[in-house]
Amino acid sequence: MGSFGALIMGFFGALFASMTLHWQFGKHGLMLATPFLIFGLIGLFAAYAIRQPGEGIVPSERGSRAIKWSSIGEGIGLFLAANILINLHHPELLLPVMALTVGLHFLPIAYAAPFSAFYALGGALIVFGLIGLVTPAPFGGMLSGFASACGLWIASALAIRRDLHFKRENPPAAHPSA
């Protein structure tokens, strides 16, 4: 996963942090936009990496299919989990269950890509989610939300770094002048 993946992970990291600020701390307004400043910074670095010459990281056909189906499963899982938890009157479990779902979504991608860093990210998000489930509210949600956001932001930074390194190793083919 390259710089485009970093943008996606950076956005969802900001979303996790913003939801944590709102649900666990009761913040609202401009305060909820502050995590998106980090996403903006990630976006600037990703744009720089995308514009660099060279062949960037492109997932294989197998990896692309895994990303597509895993993301569809993640979306369905998040929708079902949110509805079930809200209807059972347990919104305090929403952030830990979201961390679990997002973590699980990275495992098939790591297998299909193959990219072992996604095993680490998926495993970390699953651990954050499990710890959040067994830790009393509101600390469980705070831990799951902020730890997941940080994990996704760190993964974004590493993905951009990896993409830049890959482009430097695979420069564009020189075209002879006519």
Task: Assess whether pLDDT exceeds 90 at residue 178.
Answer: no
Mean pLDDT, to the nearest integer, of 13-40? 97
pLDDT tens-digit series, residues 49-79: 999 998 778 888 999 999 999 999 999 999 9
Tokens of 57: 């990281």
Mean pLDDT, to the nearest integer, of 68-92? 96
**What are the start-end ranges of the H helices in the chain?**
3-25, 35-51, 61-87, 94-112, 116-134, 139-169
In-domain check, residue 36 = yes
**Whole-angstrom Cα distance, residue 74 to residue 48?**
29
Tally the domains of the chain. Answer: 1
Provide the mean pLDDT of the chain.
93
pLDDT tens-digit series, residues 135-160: 998 999 999 999 999 999 999 999 99
In-domain check, residue 176 = no
Q: Is 23 exposed, middle or buried (0-12, 13-18, 19+ CB in 10 A)?
A: middle
In-domain check, residue 70 = yes
In-domain check, residue 40 = yes
Helix axes 35-51, 139-169, angle to 10 degrees: 10
pLDDT at 56 (0 to 100):
79
Mean pLDDT, to the nearest integer, of 93-118? 93
In-domain check, residue 174 = no
Structural domain including 78 reads 3-169
In the three-class reduction of DSSP (H, G, I as helix; E, B as strand; rest coil), residue 1 is classed as coil
In-domain check, residue 175 = no
**What are the start-end ranges of the H helices in 88-138?**
94-112, 116-134
In-domain check, residue 48 = yes
User: How would residue 171 be classed by pLDDT, with cut points 50, 70 and 90?
Assistant: confident
